[in-house]
Chains A and B, each alone.
Chain A
Amino acid sequence: MSGDRVTKALLFISSLTILLLSAGIVVSLFGGAVPAFREFGLRFITSSSWNPTAGSEQYGAMSFIAGTVITSILALIICIPMAFSTSLFIAEYYRGTRTAGILRSLVDLLAGIPSIVYGFWGFYALRPLLVATGLTDQGFGVFTASLVLAIMIVPYATSLSAEIISMVPAELKEAAYSLGATRREVIFSVVIPSARSGIIASFILALGRALGETMAVTMLIGNANVIPKGLFAPGNTMASVIANQFGEASGLKMSALIAIGLLLFLITALVNYLGKLIIKRFA
């Protein structure tokens, strides 16, 4: 069967290409990051000073690591109640109804909006609103960025959670109902426990997405290369500083930016691995 062999060979080649590509990315990130790590050592990770002026160059990634982790975790915290309740609504309470269908497509629609559009919305609509509350002077900062990030990751968490929740066997739920459980009791003692690992995985997936988000964050976080001093203070994230400074960078600065890219890659890989581990633990 030569057709079969051709197919097999083609599939093998394409998967090999993917493998080679990812290996190539890792290798070139490592190669590019070497000068920065050779110059600053581990201080590159722990230091938060970022001084690009020639003569007194000093690069440390801590401000950006802090900015990335804080905005992503904050976004996740804000996203959890929204995504969780929406997925319960779609997959349990209003399961199979037209309302749920409309809501589901609306949530999916959110995933299709380009990052820059969220940025614009945050800049022109959300920011003035936050300024009006009096909590912040100009509305640029960690909180604004996290809020927009949270909305951006809701669709990822919601659609996967809803999928998992709707896969809970009907027999289990019916058994609980027949024992006289109320709907709320069924949800909290049957549906959630059996869908737990999937729900957690969906939120970790969403966190992974928040970690790498760039454009919308850049427009709202204030791009100050310091560890944020508060919820409403400006900061910067790893993806955002790379996007901002890549164009004019050279030499040691370029290496520092690539090293930040490598760290971001490692953090994202770690988060994904953690997600897999949790799924295995509870599945």
Chain B
Amino acid sequence: MKNRIIILVAAVAMILVSCGGGGSTAGKQKQVTLSAAGATFPQPFYNLAFKKFNEAGGPLINYGGIGSGGGIKSLRDQVVDFAATDAYLSDAELAEMPGEVVHIPTCIGAVVIAYNLPGVTDLRLTPALLEGIFLGNIQKWNDPKILAANPGLVLPDMKITVVYRSDGSGTTYIFSDYMSKVSPVWNAQLGTGKALNWPAGIGAKGNPGVAGTISQSEGSIGYIGYEYAFAQKIPMAKVMNSAGNFIEPALESFSAAAAAEMPADTRVMITNSSNPAAYPITSFTWIILYRDLAYANHTREAAAATVNTVRWLTGKEAQAIATSVHYAALPQNAATQAAELLKGITYQGETLLK
């Protein structure tokens, strides 16, 4: 049974790779095709960036937005050239991989608290309020605790409807990672994960599903990727960060969160940043690839194209595209580190970048 699966996976890989490397055999002019899969959170950025890169003479990249988990699986089965994930791989997940895997941060995304309250557009929330609302302990909008954090705001006597992601998602992971850091109650009751055991509210599928449900339901509140709230013009709450400042979700306040020190392998969660200007619910999103790209019949051309693509993605030009679709650009230290890591990517032991 297991052997048969391996043969099947190998066959699929071979087909994919032979498509990918097709360019080299058919002639130098023909472009290389790469396949990639993973997170939907940065997909608007990747789609646009890959299209621009292809137009500028880069490889054709087929990116499948199948979720971070699916991307990790595809990389483990060696059926893609690279994958994308919102949650970095744990040590256990890294150990399960058939080869050494490198994380390259590509941009910073933020999770915002979007809500639908007629006439209210400047709601302020503290970590304690987030805990109370999302755990179902604060049930009315005019709860004294909410009023205390929002002096001067008139809030209606309306039931709060919490909207969460019904599907497993990196967005949930980032939000719960932040909540677990700021609330011991949350950490004990729900913890951190891509899907949680929600005690209250209703679930909707995908960022668009949550955004749609919030914009259609008065009295609702939920967490979504910044770009979705921005695109649908749904009001977003200012969230109190670790320095006690209420921070408006904006690209500058997201970038501020990443200014801290980076570990060598870039595996770090930047939620609840200590920077007084930082919005607290932010995260890097990563491209993951093998350190040595000579696997499952990968050609040198495909390997070179892979490294070039990822290097371009972390460069100035692509980072400008990221901000145009509402992701914060990588801070200087992260960009430098990404470039260093990419120099270590090899093909049969030979480095691909100078």
Contact = CB atoms under 8 A, between A and B. Distances in A.
A224 B69 contact: no
Interface stretch (A39-47, A52-60, A107-115, A171-179): A52-60
A244 B191 contact: no
B216 A224 contact: no
Interface stretch (B15-23, B201-209, B245-253): B201-209
Contacts of A223: 166, 202-205
B219 A52 contact: no
Interface in B149-180: 159, 161, 166-169
Contacts of B191: 53-56
Interface of B: 1, 66-70, 73, 159, 161, 166-169, 190-198, 201-205, 209, 212-213, 216-217, 219-220
| Most-contacted residue by chain B among A124, A140, A234 (CB, 10 A) | A140
Most buried by B among A54, A243, A250: A250
Given A138-B220, A225-B198, A250-B73, 10 more contacts: A52-B194, A52-B196, A53-B191, A123-B212, A140-B202, A224-B201, A234-B202, A244-B205, A245-B168, A247-B66
A250 B195 CA distance: 12
Contacts of A52: 168, 193-197
A38 B203 CA distance: 29
Contact of B194 (A123, A243, A248): A248
A54 B202 contact: no
Contact of B168 (A51, A138, A224, A247): A247
Interface in A68-114: none
A153 to B, nearest CB: 23
A248 B202 contact: no
Contacts of A224: 198, 201-203
22 contacts: A51-B197, A52-B193, A52-B195, A52-B197, A53-B192, A123-B212, A139-B217, A218-B166, A222-B202, A222-B203, A223-B166, A223-B204, A224-B198, A224-B203, A236-B166, A244-B167, A245-B166, A245-B167, A245-B168, A247-B70, A247-B167, A248-B169
B195 A248 contact: yes
Contacts of B198: 224-225
A53 B161 contact: no
B196 A250 contact: no
A137 interface: yes
Closest 4 CB pairs of A and B: A248-B168, A223-B203, A223-B166, A222-B202
A191 B208 CA distance: 51
A277 interface: no
B154 to A, nearest CB: 21
Contact of A53 (B193, B209, B220): B193
Which of B1, B202, B219 has the most A CB atoms < 10 Å from its CB? B202
A51 B192 CA distance: 11
A37 interface: no
A30 interface: no
A110 B73 CA distance: 39
Contact of B69 (A137, A225, A248): A248
Interface string A105-145: 00000000000000000011001000000000111100000
Q: Determine the main DSSP class of A at the interface with B.
A: loop
B228 to A, nearest CB: 17
A235 B197 CA distance: 13
Contacts of B70: 247-248
B161 A137 contact: yes
A245 B195 CA distance: 8
Nearest to B196: A53
A234 B205 CA distance: 14
Interface in A202-227: 218-219, 222-225
A86 B112 CA distance: 50
A71 B324 CA distance: 45
A137 B219 CA distance: 9
A245 to B, nearest CB: 6
Nearest to B173: A248
A249 B168 CA distance: 7
Nearest to B164: A223
A125 to B, nearest CB: 11
Contacts of B216: 123-124, 127
Nearest to B90: A54
B197 A138 contact: no
Contacts of B169: 248
> Among A49, A247, A250, which residue has the most Cβ atoms of chain B within 10 A?
A247
A265 interface: no
A32 to B, nearest CB: 12
A123 B213 CA distance: 9
A115 to B, nearest CB: 14
Nearest to A49: B197
Contacts of B192: 53
A247 B69 contact: yes
B196 to A, nearest CB: 6
B78 to A, nearest CB: 17
A246 to B, nearest CB: 8
A54 B69 CA distance: 14
A274 B220 CA distance: 43
